Amino acid sequence: MTLGMWSAHARGFLLTVMSVTTLVFALPILFTPLTWARLMGWRVPSETDLTVYLGRCLGAFIVIVEALMLRAGLTGEGLEFTFQVLVAVGVLMVVVHVWGAIQRAQPTSETLEIGMYAGLLALTLMFYPV
């Protein structure tokens, strides 16, 4: 794997990742966090106000990252910054999910996301604009 080996296709990569993650993560977490959580295998407590609030906050931040990818993918503006954000997201999401797996505090679907985030991080590095 070489940093930026597919950098000529960086914008297309961003548009593809943005489309998929908007539909699978950002919008469901923003608008229906408890439904998304149940589908992912989480046990939802009887008191849900805090859960819904935190889910919507997370969804809002995912939408911000989606907007960065959309702008950079369509216009090329902020391309390197957007990739820096995606690298940070990839690294931290791997750490968060590994931590949850070690603590056995998450459903299997979340533990499987370690591979997804590690793979997206690797792809992000390969498409990184150099």
Residue span of the structural domain in which 97 resides: 7-127
* Phi, psi values for residue 66, rounded to 5°: -60, -45
Average pLDDT over the chain, rounded to whole? 95
Read off the tokens for 114: 């370690």
1 domain-assigned: no
pLDDT at position 104 over 90? yes
pTM (predicted TM-score): 0.90
Domain count, the chain: 1
69 domain-assigned: yes
105 domain-assigned: yes
In this predicted structure, what is the pLDDT of residue 45?
87
In this predicted structure, what is the pLDDT of residue 107?
94
2 domain-assigned: no
C-alpha 94/C-alpha 5 separation (Å) is 23
